[in-house]
Structure formats: C-alpha cells, structure tokens
Amino acid sequence: MQDSFRITMSATTCLLSVVLVLFLTTTTFAKRELCHNITGTCLHGKFHCANKQQVAFSKRCDGIEDCEDGTDEYLCEHDDDTPLFLRSHQDRHMVEQASCARCECLATLASVDDFNVWYSLAQASQTDPIGLMTGTGAYGGLTCDTRCTKTYLLAFYKKSFVCRGFVCCTRQRECQHCHPGTLVSGCGARSPANRCYA
C-alpha cells in the first residue's frame, strides 16, 4: 500500500511540475509580447528608451541592458503592465515605494522634453532629494511645477546591491526648461536654480 501511495504521489508531483513550468513559460511569453509596458513606452513596434534609442519588444525585461541608459530594464518585476502615469496617485505611490527600497546606485541621467514618450512618466515621477530638494538660493527646496516644466532631468537608480541589469527607480532631478509664460499662464522664467514654478 505504501509503495503504491508513493508512486501515486510521485506521479502527481511530476504532473504538477509540468503544469507549473508550462504556466510560467506562457506567462513570460505573454509579458514579452505586451512589452511589459509599465512605462507606457512600447510604441510603433519598438520599446523607446529614455535616451530615444529604440529596441525590439523582446529586449524589454530580458535582464540585459540593451538601451545605453538601461531603461529597457526599468520596473520589470511587476506583473501589472498598466503604465504608472495612468494609475491613481495612491497606487503609483505604492509601486514606487516598493520599487525604490534600497535603490541608491545611480545608473544614468536623461533629459526628457515634452516630445519624449517618457514625458508623462517624468511628470509623475517623485522628486529626487539630491538636486531638487537640496538646492541653494531663492528657489532652493522647491519642486518642479508640472504645468510649467517643459524638460525634466530624470535620474535613474538601481538597487545598491544589484548595479547591473535592473533599473528600479526614476526621480525628477532638475526642471531644466520652462514653458514660456505666454503658453502657460502663471509660469515664471527659468530660475537661477533651474526650477520652473508658478
């Protein structure tokens, strides 16, 4: 009886393993087809890097930095592909908080203007304590005003203990250029500290 029981259990375990492998393979393949678009930057048959390079969908989240800035490996550990900038503030905050834990290794900086497909994400990114919040002068400590800022300098961070192949955080480092006041009412000129504010 015991041998029969063991054989039955082994067969069941084997079957479950095959089902699990098939499920994981299917899920991974489906993710790649969708380009895991949490950034909202899979367009026109390609993934668009923050530095405006373009790579194939299959390069997104494959563990290798194919964009020179590494942004094809940004936020790959999430199952939900809904772009961050389309989510509620609360939901986006939860993802960012979870992703940014121990995320201190600076990967690269990217200048993102309003023609860049990363612009909506740049507007929704959290501010970087370095640069924006610690500046000196009349505008020190002020953050970017999304109504007035035309170009953001984004900082991309990696986990402090995994400094290759995994970009986990993006933060607004600097408001580089402002919309002219005639286009957006109430915007000031570019400040001495590169901040655009109402």
Show the DSSP H helices in the chain as ranges: 2-34, 89-99, 119-124
Other Cβ atoms closer than 10 A to 99 = 20
**CB of 31: closest distance to Ca ion in angstroms?**
13
**CB of 141: closest distance to Ca ion in angstroms?**
37
Candidate list 66, 96, 128, 174; residue touching Ca ion; CB under 5 A: 66
Question: Using CB under 5 A as the criterion, what x/- string covers residues 6-45 for binding Ca ion?
Answer: ----------------------------------------
Upper half-sphere CA count for residue 48 (Cβ side, 13 Å): 17
**CB of 106: closest distance to Ca ion in angstroms?**
19
Query: Per CB under 5 A, does 174 bind Ca ion?
Result: no
Measured at the CA of 52, the angle between CA 182 and CA 109, to 5 degrees, comes to 80
Candidate list 36, 48, 59, 171; residue touching Ca ion; CB under 5 A: 59
Of the candidate spans 10-18, 32-40, 62-70, 87-95, the one that interacts with Ca ion by CB under 5 A turns out to be 62-70
Q: What is the DSSP string of 48-92?
A: EPTTS-EEEGGGTTSSS--STT-GGGBS-S-S--S-GGGS-HHHH
Query: Per CB under 5 A, does 150 bind Ca ion?
Result: no
Query: Per CB under 5 A, does 177 bind Ca ion?
Result: no
Indicate the residue among 66 and 174 with the shorter CB distance to Ca ion.
Answer: 66
Query: Per CB under 5 A, does 69 bind Ca ion?
Result: no
Pairing of strands 126-127, 54-56: unpaired
Candidate list 72, 96, 128, 145; residue touching Ca ion; CB under 5 A: 72
Other Cβ atoms closer than 10 A to 101 = 12
Residue 20: is it exposed, middle or buried by C-beta count within 10 angstroms (0-12/13-18/19+)? exposed
**CB of 129: closest distance to Ca ion in angstroms?**
29
**CB of 123: closest distance to Ca ion in angstroms?**
25
